[in-house]
Amino acid sequence: MSEPLLLVHGDDGLGLDLALREFAARIDAVDRAEIVPDRSPDEAAIDRARLEAGTASMFGAHLTVLRQPLRAAGRSTSAGDRLLALVAELPAGCALALVEERSSRDAGKPPALLTKLAEAVRARGGSVVEVAAPRKGELRGWIVRHAGRLELQIETRAAHVLAERIGGAIWETDVERGEQTRIADAELRKLATYAGDRQITTADVETLTADTRPASVFAVTNAIDRREPGAAAEALRRALDDGQPGLRILASLAARVSDLIAARDLAARRAPPAEIAKRVARGNVRAAERLVEAAKRYRGEELDAMLIGLFEADVAIKTNVMDEEPALVAWLGEHLLARRAGESA
Distances (CA, A) of 302 to 154, 214, 297, 336: 49, 30, 10, 9
Query: What's the predicted TM-score (pTM) here?
Result: 0.65
| SS3 per residue for 234-298 | HHHHHHHHCCCCHHHHHHHHHHHHHHHHHHHHHHHCCCCHHHHHHHHCCCCHHHHHHHHHHHCCC
Beta strand segments in 117-207, E: 127-131
Q: Which amino acid is at 283?
A: G
C-alpha to C-alpha distance for 187 and 285, rounded to whole angstroms: 41
C-alpha to C-alpha distance for 240 and 324, rounded to whole angstroms: 9
Where do the domains of the chain lie?
Answer: 5-131, 139-208, 217-344
**Would you write out the chain's pLDDT as a tens digit for each of its 345 residues?**
478 999 999 999 999 999 999 999 999 988 889 999 999 999 999 999 999 998 766 666 899 999 999 999 999 999 999 999 999 999 988 899 999 999 887 767 889 999 999 999 999 999 999 999 898 889 999 999 999 999 999 999 999 999 988 888 776 665 677 888 998 999 999 999 999 999 999 999 999 998 777 666 778 888 899 899 988 898 898 888 878 888 888 998 998 899 999 999 998 988 888 888 888 877 777 888 888 999 999 999 999 999 999 999 999 999 999 999 999 999 999 998 765 544 554
C-alpha to C-alpha distance for 238 and 246, rounded to whole angstroms: 12
Q: Which CATH number fits domain 5-131: 3.90.1410.10, 3.30.1540.20, 3.40.47.10, 3.40.50.300?
A: 3.40.50.300
* 32: Cα within 13 Å, side-chain hemisphere: 16
C-alpha to C-alpha distance for 199 and 125, rounded to whole angstroms: 44
Beta strand segments in the chain, E: 5-10, 29-35, 61-67, 95-101, 127-131
**Considering only the top CATH level, what class is 139-208?**
mainly alpha
Domain 217-344 has CATH 3.90.1150.10: no
Distances (CA, A) of 78 to 7, 27, 75, 84, 272: 20, 31, 9, 10, 50
